[in-house]
Structure 1
Amino acid sequence: MLLAAGRLLPLAAVCYWLLKPSPRQPAKQPPPGVDWRARPGLHATVKEKAPATGKSYLVIGTGSVGLIIMEALVERGEKKVKGLDVVAPRRGVEGATFAVGNVTDYSSIKAACEGVDVVYLTVALIRYYERLQYQYAASHAVNVTGTGNVLRACAECGVQVLVQTSTSNVCVAPALVSTSMDESSELVGPQNSPNHYGWTKAQAETMVLAANGAPLEPAARGALQTVAVRPCSGIFGLQDNFMTEKWLELGQVQIMLPEPLIDYVYNENVAYAHLLAEAALHAERAKPPPQRRVGGEAFCITNGEPLRAADFHDAVGHYYERQTGGAFKQTYLPRRLMMALGYAVELVQRATRGRVTGDLALLTPAMFAVASLTYAFSSAKAKERLGYEPLYTLHEALQRTVYLWHTHRAGVAGAKK
């Protein structure tokens, strides 16, 4: 009996080690007096800082940031705004048109760029959880080949301005990160990038910046001006797909890694930076080359308030409970067990080339490699050259996100009655 118990003790110890949840972090109270309504907001600010131009616009990628850009363009007075994506957008934009197209199909991109003056390229395949070789082709097709197709179409159709949405992931790798990163930080490469997303976006950003000054057809249109906007690092807001939207719909969040500290940036602040970048490029056309300080440059965009993951979750829960009156549940998962499952998922993926699907497919070593990192960026360059300042603080943005989610949800429910 004692012998059997002695044999079971090591097994019990291993089970305890695997199943022990991530340590619960002490709750951090949000600052008092938070009220997003006190801010002038995106549309009013854009009318002042990046007013209407009367040009023709194409937004390629009508996700969270792309739709906000389209709405702001229409709101400031633009009459020729269209969006393009592989599927219809989640919500319409009154005063704008939409078309279905794919950046991997050059003919559809060229057709969309005809007669356009300004292109916003916000599309990306964001598979931060993939690192296996067979998975590379899909990310390369959208993020690299797709970007090349857009650049070619811009040159052949006489598009004068291209504003690209890049990502802080172009610099994010375990050996590269710190809490004082900026545009001078080293880009990831194929050997040190923890996933295909960061490496393919690094290639795309490099292509976009190198294309600044490329001649246009017809020659009378001058040269293409390009700029890359790098949101740093977790983009949240209404219909953000990856973050707050899912948690708010469920009324809960499951936490594996509560300690890492990163930048979280609000999607309306990101869209605002894009619009400022466009305005800055127009202003540069009248300047001699030595005085141009925006074209061909990348700009890191942050909320300027790096936060631990646990504190971010606490803040989401706080504003959820204030807005809805319901409870927001936080469950701390056993990280060691989840990491072991991640390696098992990748083993199955490697053997079957993609049999694992759904949420389980996100649980991979590549995902953990990024999610476990602490890092933060500075947006000082964007402040100096673009005039960028966050429209909303982090807590104002979270409060507004929950409010917009709640009212949008109520509106959709009301429309179904």
Structure 2
Amino acid sequence: MKVLVTGASGYLGGRLCHALLRHGHSVRAFVRRTSDLSSVPTISSGVALELAYGDVTDYPSLIAACSGVDVVFHSAAVVEPWLPDPSKFVSVNVGGLKNVIRACKETDTIQKIVYTSSFFALGSTDGYIADESQMHSTKSFCTEYEKSKAVADQIALEAAKEGVPIVAVYPGVIYGPGKVTAGNVVARMMVERFNGRLPGYIGYGNDMFSFSHVDDVVDGHISALDKGQPGQRYLLTGENASFKQVFDIAAAITNTKTPRFNIPLFVIEIYGWLSVLFCRITGNLPLISPPVVSCLRHQWAYSCEKAKRELNYKPRSLTEGLEEVLPWLKNLGAIKY
């Protein structure tokens, strides 16, 4: 098939392009002129890859990229938990999806959209494990990112009711080898932990997240192309654990000591506010910000049984994933143990 991948230069999008090529598809990577293309497959003889330049917020460039395309993988998104200009979350995460849906309606060849949503779009799960039937209450949001993905989720569901062939997939906290960016928060946390900049546990282990290895998520996307039913939602999540458990597993794998103390969330929040202030001075986005702490005060645990059953989704355990990530970070020189 002729496949368009938006967000192709991103952490997930780049690996998705590689996998689609391995599966025999022809890939058109939609990237901005300013994008770092290090994650995108190299264009060479015999590789069915082409670049299309533009932006999901620029409809003319998007509709041109959709020409002759059979499937659109819409993975472009702003994934930072905090930005100095929050309007970017709306323009990219909401406006971008609107443009993709519009382009689908105006392009005769598009048979399916596989839309990369987020577990945040379903809302928190304090004290229980949720599935695809959960709808965000929209009463409160921890981050502007969460708000934008919840709004976009409603747009996707409405489009499906109108007959747009859209399949929504909801990854958990994506981690694995690749770019150490905001989209790879576990790798960033490990770098901070093993370099001594995060000396203790974050909070007291009351948080809960569903961790998804990036390659499992990519496989889930491709299965959604082959087996996903338009209008359906699929959680591409994994093992539910706290960041305390992540640190403990990492210590066991590396034969290093576990943290000796817990850092209360109010202390981390103060650090977050200072990081935001520092960002406004330097322009460097913070790893920890007050919205991140808000997320850590909740639980985000989900079941991926539907994806296992209908997409043959096979998520690996957190231990299996970290056994790959930690040596990879060590080989990069990013951590020592």
Match of 2:90? 140
Aligned pairs (5 A) from 1:21-40: none
Q: Does 1:278 align with 2:254?
A: no
Closer/same/farther in 2, CA of residues 328 and 359 from structure 1, 3 Å limit:
farther
Question: Shift of the alpha carbon at 1:195?
Answer: 1.5
The alignment of Structure 1 onto Structure 2 pairs a total of residues equal to 315
Q: Does 1:203 align with 2:151?
A: yes
Closer/same/farther in 2, CA of residues 365 and 213 from structure 1, 3 Å limit:
closer
**Within 1, Cα distance between the matches of 2:31 and 2:259?**
35
Closer/same/farther in 2, CA of residues 170 and 224 from structure 1, 3 Å limit:
closer
Match of 1:381? 306
CA deviation profile, 1:10-68 (whole Å, cap 9, x unmatched): xxxxxxxxxxxxxxxxxxxxxxxxxxxxxxxxxxxxxxxxxxxxx10111112222122
CA deviation profile, 1:181-220 (whole Å, cap 9, x unmatched): 111223142x411221111111212222322375xxxxxx
Match of 1:155? 105
Question: Shift of the alpha carbon at 1:345?
Answer: 6.2
Q: Does 1:73 align with 2:20?
A: yes
- TM-score with structure 2 setting the length: 0.82
Question: Shift of the alpha carbon at 1:299?
Answer: 1.2
SS of equivalent to 2:41: coil
**Within 2, Cα distance between the matches of 1:406 and 1:91?**
20
Match of 1:238? 177
**Within 1, Cα distance between the matches of 2:224 and 2:324?**
24
**Within 1, Cα distance between the matches of 2:293 and 2:249?**
23
Q: Which has the higher contact order (CA 8 A, sep 6+)?
A: 1
Q: Does 1:358 align with 2:284?
A: yes
More helix by share: 1
**Within 2, Cα distance between the matches of 1:230 and 1:264?**
12
Picking from 110, 128, 134, the partner of 1:185 is 134
SS of equivalent to 1:238: coil
Gaps of 5+ in 2: none
**Within 2, Cα distance between the matches of 1:258 and 1:67?**
35
**Within 2, Cα distance between the matches of 1:357 and 1:203?**
28
Aligned pairs (5 A) from 1:86-101: 86=32, 87-94=35-42, 95=47, 96-101=49-54
Match of 1:166? 117
Question: Shift of the alpha carbon at 1:137?
Answer: 1.5
**Within 2, Cα distance between the matches of 1:328 and 1:66?**
35
Question: Shift of the alpha carbon at 1:337?
Answer: 3.0
**Within 1, Cα distance between the matches of 2:289 and 2:186?**
21
CA deviation profile, 1:115-154 (whole Å, cap 9, x unmatched): 1111101111123236xxx844211000011111111112
Q: Does 1:226 align with 2:166?
A: yes
**Within 1, Cα distance between the matches of 2:181 and 2:213?**
13
SS of equivalent to 2:30: strand
Q: Give aligned-pair identity as a percent.
A: 24
**Within 2, Cα distance between the matches of 1:367 and 1:358?**
16
Gaps of 5+ in 1: 1-54, 215-222, 282-293, 411-417
1:109 aligned partner, one-letter code:
L
Picking from 245, 257, 261, the partner of 1:311 is 245
Question: Shift of the alpha carbon at 1:114?
Answer: 0.8
Structure of higher CA gyration radius: 1
1:177 aligned partner, one-letter code:
D
**Within 2, Cα distance between the matches of 1:57 and 1:406?**
35
Instruction: Give the conservation status (yes or no) of the 8 Å contact 1:244–1:316.
Output: no
2:60 aligned partner, one-letter code:
S
Q: Does 1:339 align with 2:290?
A: no
Question: Shift of the alpha carbon at 1:172?
Answer: 2.8
Instruction: Give the conservation status (yes or no) of the 8 Å contact 1:178–1:375.
Output: no
Q: Does 1:372 align with 2:297?
A: yes
2:233 aligned partner, one-letter code:
A
CA deviation profile, 1:59-103 (whole Å, cap 9, x unmatched): 11122221222111111222x212123313223414223333211
CA deviation profile, 1:214-259 (whole Å, cap 9, x unmatched): 5xxxxxxxx6411110012x11111252324335556336143251
Instruction: Give the conservation status (yes or no) of the 8 Å contact 1:140–1:200.
Output: yes
Instruction: Give the conservation status (yes or no) of the 8 Å contact 1:104–1:141.
Output: yes
Match of 2:231? 296
Instruction: Give the conservation status (yes or no) of the 8 Å contact 1:264–1:306.
Output: yes
Question: Shift of the alpha carbon at 1:155?
Answer: 1.7
2:176 aligned partner, one-letter code:
G
**Within 2, Cα distance between the matches of 1:314 and 1:385?**
33
Match of 1:19? none
